Amino acid sequence: MNTTHIVVLGGGYAGTMAANRLSAVAATVTLVNPRPQFVHRIRLHQWVAGTGRAEHDFAEVLADGVRLVVDTATRIDTATGCVELASGERLPYDHLVYAVGSTAAVGDGIPGAREHGFLLGEWEAAQRLRAHLTTIPADAGIVVVGGGLTGMETAAELADTGRPIRLVCGGSIAPSFGDRAREAARNRLTRLGVDVTEDHRVTAVGPDSVTVMGTDGALRVLPSAATIITAGFGVPDLAARSGLTTDPLGRLLTDDTLTSVDDPRIVGAGDAVAPSNRPFRMSCQAANQLGPQAADTVRAHVAGSEPTPVSVAFVGQCTSLGRRGATVQLTHRDDAPGRIVVTGRTAAAIKELVCRSVIWGLRMEARRPGITPRVGGQERALVPEPTAAQ
């Protein structure tokens, strides 16, 4: 019988990939996730608009040897090596992968945002938004707050279905893009009928309106039958509640091998980890690389060998803008925008291929643990704040 117990917290991109890779280890592997479905988060804007599927049964993407526990971790008891769950169960572990992911920022600094705004970053929030959209007229105006990649995708997807959309952001749209890609995205949004309102800060959200302030200090009240908040990401506070060292946002602080600075039995992966206090951009792209590397670090700990430092290489930022258009900003390995920009139907095909390949990659790792290659090293830039990007 296997005597080594490995618990993976979080069944997103990083956690599922890590659990699949660890299924080849002579150990029992348990994945803890709050819901029985795997959520393909980069398709949530499609699911809300009714143009795509965002949920998959874990049987489709999880290795057969991994035990799935549908529950929520409430505390990690490092003294006893147990995870406390909302159900009251305690899961013992010898090694733990902390991959709880990120959450959509609620916009607590904006009066009324929590009470009247709708989020998109999580499955349950997306369900509430989709249900609300069925209750309002098709010609009712909708305001999307946040001009990052998620905000642009959401605005474009809904506009492509015929809904009147206004996209409001405090600065320019697509701050992570280069100038050419930003202009291409702005033009595409305009062609879809999106009213792009840049350099306007949201000061209040009401049940049927949004108040914004321009650079001149003037206030405007915009009608809004649904206000969608896509203004950044946060992380669960599980690590902080468990007494583990975190960065100011609450991400688990690790060394460059993804090992917790507090406990060598805990390894981090995905959006909720800050390796050497220099986190990568919160994204599916980074999570799909960090998951396998976290698993390799655990395997090294189990074997008593030295784990390899983490490395992530970005290749591009793909943004769907409706079903027939997209903007793809190719990047350098450190995620800085490069010179090449792809637009139109070609970019839309690339984006669709990327979305499909994520699921294919999880399935391949489930069938053949270890097949996902590690990337070469890179110098990592400090990311002081998360952005609403994918």
CA distance linking residue 164 with residue 126, whole number of Å: 19
374 within a domain of the structure (yes/no): no
pTM for the model: 0.94
- Does 44 share its domain with 95? yes
pLDDT at 387: 38
- Which pLDDT value is given to residue 388? 39
Q: Indicate whether 33 and 9 sit together in one domain.
A: yes
Is 182 a member of any domain? yes
One domain, residues 95 and 135? no
Residues 201 and 255 in one domain: no
Confidence grade of residue 26 (pLDDT, cut at 50, 70, 90):
confident
**Statement to judge: residues 127 and 221 lie in one domain:** yes
Task: Taking residues 258-263, report their average pLDDT.
Answer: 98
How does pLDDT run across 182-194, given as a tens digit for each residue? 999 999 999 999 9
Q: How many CA atoms lie within 13 A of 200 on its CB side?
A: 22
Beta-strand relationship, 117-119 and 226-229? parallel
Residue 3: exposure state from Cβ atoms within 10 A (0-12, 13-18, ≥19): exposed
According to the model, what pLDDT value does residue 64 have?
A: 95
Same domain as 135, residue 87: no
Same domain, 210 and 249: no
Residues 218 and 240 in one domain: no
Task: Quote the number of domains for the chain.
Answer: 2
Query: Rounded to a whole number, what is the largest CA-CA distance in the chain?
Result: 70
3-state secondary structure of 354: helix
In a domain, 67, yes or no: yes
Instruction: From 183, 198, 229, give the residue that closes a domain.
Output: 229
pLDDT in tens, 312-344: 999 999 999 999 999 999 999 999 999 999 999
Q: Cα separation of 11 and 9, whole Å? A: 7
Regarding whether 247 and 359 lie in a shared domain, the answer is: yes
- CATH code of the domain containing 298: 3.50.50.60
Same domain, yes or no: 361 and 241: yes
**Same-domain check for residues 97 and 239:** yes
Residue 15: is its pLDDT beyond 70? yes
Claim to verify: residue 138 and residue 177 sit in the same structural domain = yes
Residue 259 lies in a domain: yes
The per-residue pLDDT for range 150-198, each reduced to its tens digit, is: 999 999 999 999 999 999 999 999 999 999 999 999 999 999 999 999 9
Query: Residue 381 domain-assigned?
Result: no
Single-letter amino acid code for the residue at 373: P
Q: Does the residue 159 lie in any domain?
A: yes
Residue 214 reports pLDDT greater than 90: yes
For residue 346, is it within any domain? no
Q: In what order do the strands lie in the sheet with 117-119?
A: 117-119, 226-229, 142-145, 165-168, 195-197
Domain containing 268 equals 5-102+235-313+355-367
Q: How many residues does the chain have?
A: 390
Last residue in a domain, options 229, 258, 273: 229
Residue 323 inside a domain? The answer is: no
On the question of pLDDT at 230 being above 70, the answer is: yes
